[in-house]
Structures are given as C-alpha cells and as structure tokens.
Amino acid sequence: MRKILLILASMLFATIAYAADASEATVKAALLKKYPQIQLESVTKTPLAGIYEVFADGQIHYTDEKATYLFVNAMMIDTDKKTNLTEERMSKLTAINFDQLPLNLAFKRVKGNGSRKLAVFSDPDCPYCKRVEGDLAKLENVTIYTFLYPIDSLHPQARDKSKRIWCSADKVKAWDDALLRNVTPAASPNCDNPIDKTVELGMKYKVTGTPTLVFADGARVPGAISSEQMEQKLASTKPAK
C-alpha cells in the first residue's frame, strides 16, 4: 500500500507540474498571437492566483490566464513583507554573470586594495555618466572596469571619443579628462580598439541606457546612483557562485 501511495503521489506531482508548464505555455502563445512583434522572453506564474508575469522587451508586465488584460509596467507588492516582488524579479531576470564579462574589453581602475569589484557601461558624452564618475571617485578599495558604450542615437560623437580614450597611452587619465574636465582626448582613434565589441556586448545584455552598473553578484543598476548607494550595495554584495 505504501508503495502504491508513493507512486500515486509522484504521478500527481508530475501532473501538477505539467499543468503549470502547459498553462504558462498557453498564456505565452495567446500573448504572441495578439502581439507578435514583442520580444517575449518568459511567462511565469505569480503568487497571485490567475496572474502571470510577462518578461518582454526588457520589462516586466502582468496578464491573466487568457491574456485578456495586460498590466503594463505594473508593480506587485507583498503587503505583508513590505517587499517589491517586481523589483526582486527584475533584478534576477536582468542579472549579468560578472565572471563571464570579457574584462579585457574594459579599462581598469584600481583604488586602494581593489578587493571589491564593479563594472560600468558608460558613454563619454552622457551627462549622467559624468555625474556618476564623481561618486565613483569617492569609493575606496574597489576595482572598477569601464566598458566604453557609446549610444550613437543620442551622442553621435561619442564613438569617436570612445576610440580616442581607448587609444590613449593612459586610458584612465583620458577618461577623467573627458568626463570630469571636458577635454577631448588628443590620441588618434585608429588604434586596435574594442568599441564595436563593447557595443555588441551591451546590446547582448540589453543595456539600454548609461550609466549601467554591474556588481559582483550580477545585479545591474541603471542610472546615476550616489556613492552612498554604491557603498551599501558593495558592502552587501557577495560574488555569484
């Protein structure tokens, strides 16, 4: 009898798991039928009965079982735990494996013992990137990897400037001159440089704006956050396993 009960339990579990997968697949199919142009990455059941998380075009939305209604850019809050479930899921879905970043495509700045790690996708003509550089300068005991990521549609001169920074004998100084002192690097842009590759890398990870910070645990933070916020994140960050 015990053996039969175990078999029945395993069959029931498999049936439930299959039903959940089938339901998510059905919702995904319904959405793609209505919005064939979207880049739909995943559909996941939420803790709320009948509501599904939709991760598409780099954003989280929500829909019902029949995809009749779509809640665009909505936030789901756990009122008991006072936590933002959407932010938690977004952090997980957009995480970047730090150990897989091609750090040879970035220039490096070591401050203090350099024990903590941080990567930044940055555009030399981005005003928010200039702002965040002032806060990055306040950090201690950190290694900062900067990926030159010019956004041509916003800053048509940024690609040429990025190449000149990379081609400079002292990349860190050239970067500081450009970002903090508005001095265009004098170096020729014609050296062997990785700018095309860094742009491809940013597109691969769907980096849509600069600056975008990536911490050692893979969490990405878009926008110019303060040095205090950086310190808080660095202090709580453990490298991803």
Using one digit for the tens of pLDDT, what is the confidence trace for 31-79? 999 999 988 989 999 998 899 999 998 889 999 998 999 999 889 999 9
Backbone angles phi, psi at 102, to 5 degrees: -75, 85
Domain boundaries, the chain: 2-93, 98-236
Task: Domain 2-93: give its CATH superfamily.
Answer: Disulphide bond isomerase, DsbC/G, N-terminal (3.10.450.70)
Q: What residues have CB less than 8 Å from 2, skipping those under 6 apart?
A: none
pTM for this model (two decimals): 0.77
Identical fold between 2-93 and 98-236: no
Using one digit for the tens of pLDDT, what is the confidence trace for 101-130? 999 999 999 999 999 999 999 999 999 999
The pLDDT assigned to 55 comes to 92
Mean pLDDT of 87-92: 86
Pick the CATH number of 98-236 from 2.60.120.380, 3.40.720.10, 3.40.30.10, 3.40.50.300: 3.40.30.10
With a pLDDT cut of 70, the percent of the chain lying above it is: 89
